[in-house]
Amino acid sequence: MKHLPNKGLSPIGGPLMPQGKQLLNNSLLNKGTAFPDEERDALGLRGLLPPKVFTLEEQCTRVLRNFRRFKEPLEKYIYLSNLQNRNETLFYRIIQDNAEEMIPIIYTPTVGQACLEYGVIYSSPRGVFLSIKDKGRIAEILRHWPMLDVRMIVVTDGERILGLGDLGAHGMGIPVGKLALYTACAGLHPYYTLPITIDVGTDNESLHADPFYIGLKQKRVRGREYDEFIEEFVQAVQEVYPRAMLQWEDFGNANAFHLLQRYRRKICSFNDDIQGTAAVALAGLIASLRETGGTLKEQKILFLGAGEAGTGIADLFTAAAMDEGLTEQEARSRCWFVDSQGLVVKGRPGKLAEHKVPYAHDFKQISSLLQAVEELRPTALIGVSGQARAFTQEIVTKMAAINERPVIFALSNPTSKAECTAEEAYTWTDGRAVFASGSPFPAVTLNGRTYLPGQGNNVYIFPGVGLGALVSESSEVTDGMFLTAARTLASLVGTEDLAVGRIYPALNKIREVSIRIAVAVAEEAYHDRLAQRTQPSDIEKDIRARVFEPVYHDYI
């Protein structure tokens, strides 16, 4: 049954309000044992629930107790997924109140494991699956989704899931997880969210052999047929959900760059792997200056990995350094890349991918990261290669010999792919590293000091940017908005964070961080005349009034 939002962002009943079992099966409206007596009588629930009426708080206590009983993170993930499919208010209450404990379960690193085993742990579908065989009827299929007013779509084709590679249709765990974070972190109402997986096949042979694989067992469709499918998809979204924005997620880098360029002004959209990562890393670099001293434009950054994340960060760094007075060429000359072929330089044999060209400097060919560190003497080393343990002791020690406070970001996800661990970074630099990682690491105690390293994860950026763009009904998400988001995030890092070695705010402040970013992004949308809504007199008040709070509403 379709249900309509009443006003603004809250979903509810009205004439189409489901009753009885249908109501219990509606995860957005279900309250489970918390339905009060009057509603049980009025809505045909009497007898379908045990007699005792519980409060939301009592339900939370019960859920937490069960959640903590599980030892394996994947078991916790499955438990929370089932809860989400049953009762979203309770699910989001738990996530929001226990963000630090829950986010690593519903998102990285556990979601990576969930995607690897998606076929086996599958129990009920969530979101929309569009396969290449649906060509010509995408709009019709999107209309099967029961919500009438979708505003935020996260879409993947599963080709580059985290640092785990091509997981095909098993990549659905990522849009589902990211949209849960939109709600938990920024308060976007779940009614407005739609996860989509585009299945054009997979080149991962092990999935072809997997009896539990949920997608098409064929090679990936590429080239013209792929592009036509995506074009039909974008047009169908605009037709069925004209107010929806799109987040492109975990596409392989050959498609990610050109899809972003082709569509970013045709439909309000952004690529989180390129632009979201850029903003979170830049925020980390800005915050690290409070430890290392100096200005952003003086930094020299060496990246391991020249893909979506790496060049996205370098592009945003360039914009920020130009704001500090450098020319574009000077700013780009502060960024260097080592990829799977060695240092990215002019004249390297073979054709360089377009996104690497601006960073191919005039320099000799170098094949190893260690030698690149020795020759270039960077102030910051950023790992976005998906290559586990690529920052060896020798490399990290060298960074510490060159810099009093070396900046070391091991951003590859999930944890198993991190370029080094927090413990290694601190131990090998005698505690001098300014460290951040993509997935969380436990606290490290060294020489009597305890470090709680920060998670340089996009979760600090995309929920706020998306909410700001969505509420202002911006026609696009500009690079300037990501720069603003990075600066806002960096400004929210407190001295108490720096004191424990953290260059990001604590995760339990994520709601406030996301709202502050949303306000800054919306202000920019109104200022740049991209907003399709009239500017409210108080932008912050307007946004705060719209955020979803996981509490039960009265139905009668």
Can residue 204 be called a binding residue for ligand NAD (CB under 6 A)? Answer: no
Whichever of 109 and 406 has its CB closer to ligand NAD, that residue is: 109
User: Binding residue for ligand NAD (CB under 6 A) from 158, 171, 195, 310?
Assistant: 310
Size of the site for ligand NAD (CB under 6 A): 29
Minimum Å gap between C-beta 398 and ligand NAD is 17
Find the binding residues for ligand NAD in span 513-552 (CB under 6 A). none
Find the binding residues for ligand NAD in span 454-473 (CB under 6 A). 456-458
How many whole angstroms separate alpha carbon 19 and alpha carbon 522?
A: 39
User: Binding residue for ligand NAD (CB under 6 A) from 159, 273, 419, 523?
Assistant: 273
Can residue 306 be called a binding residue for ligand NAD (CB under 6 A)? Answer: yes
How many whole angstroms separate alpha carbon 268 and alpha carbon 260?
A: 10
Can residue 438 be called a binding residue for ligand NAD (CB under 6 A)? Answer: yes
Q: Which stretch binds ligand NAD (CB under 6 A): 74-82, 392-400, 412-420, 480-488?
A: 412-420
Buried b / exposed e over 158-172, threshold 16 CB at 10 Å, is: bbbbbbbebbbbbbb
User: Binding residue for ligand NAD (CB under 6 A) from 417, 432, 487, 511?
Assistant: 417
Helices of type H across 435-478: 462-471
What kind and span of H or E run contains 58? Answer: helix 56-69
Can residue 283 be called a binding residue for ligand NAD (CB under 6 A)? Answer: no
Inter-residue contact 95 to 444 (CB < 8 Å): no
How far is it between the farthest Cα atoms of the chain?
Answer: 79
What is residue 141's three-state secondary structure? helix
Q: Which of 31, 77, 118, 178 is catalytic?
A: 178
Written as one string, the DSSP assignment of 380-391 is EEEE-S--TT-S
Any residues with CB less than 8 A from the CB of 310 and at least 6 apart, and which?
303, 304, 337, 382, 384, 385
Q: Kindly list the distances between the CA atom of residue 182 and the CA atoms of 194, 200, 491, in Å, as whole numbers in the listed order.
A: 11, 26, 21
Minimum Å gap between C-beta 461 and ligand NAD is 9
Can residue 307 be called a binding residue for ligand NAD (CB under 6 A)? Answer: yes
Minimum Å gap between C-beta 164 and ligand NAD is 8
User: Binding residue for ligand NAD (CB under 6 A) from 88, 159, 308, 424?
Assistant: 308
How many whole angstroms separate alpha carbon 255 and alpha carbon 411?
A: 22
Minimum Å gap between C-beta 33 and ligand NAD is 38
Written as one string, the DSSP assignment of 206-237 is HHHT-TT--S--SPPP-HHHHHHHHHHHHHHH
Q: Which stretch binds ligand NAD (CB under 6 A): 24-32, 178-186, 192-200, 273-281?
A: 273-281
Minimum Å gap between C-beta 462 and ligand NAD is 9
Can residue 315 be called a binding residue for ligand NAD (CB under 6 A)? Answer: no
Inter-residue contact 282 to 258 (CB < 8 Å): no
Can residue 313 be called a binding residue for ligand NAD (CB under 6 A)? Answer: no
Helices of type H across 407-509: 422-428, 462-471, 479-491, 495-499
178 in catalytic set? yes
Amino acid (1-letter code) at residue 282: L
Inter-residue contact 466 to 247 (CB < 8 Å): yes
Count helices and strands (H / E) in the chain. 24, 14
509 in catalytic set? no
Minimum Å gap between C-beta 501 and ligand NAD is 17
Minimum Å gap between C-beta 178 and ligand NAD is 11
Give me the residue whose beta carbon is nearest to ligand NAD.
307
What is residue 454's three-state secondary structure? strand
User: Binding residue for ligand NAD (CB under 6 A) from 183, 204, 253, 472?
Assistant: 253
Question: x/- contact string, 318-347, with ligand NAD (CB under 6 A)?
Answer: --------------------xxx-------
Can residue 162 be called a binding residue for ligand NAD (CB under 6 A)? Answer: yes
How many whole angstroms separate alpha carbon 318 and alpha carbon 322?
A: 6
Name the residues that contact ligand NAD, by CB under 6 A: 160, 162-163, 253, 273, 277, 280, 304-310, 338-340, 384-387, 411-413, 417, 438, 456-458
Q: Which residues are catalytic?
A: 107, 178
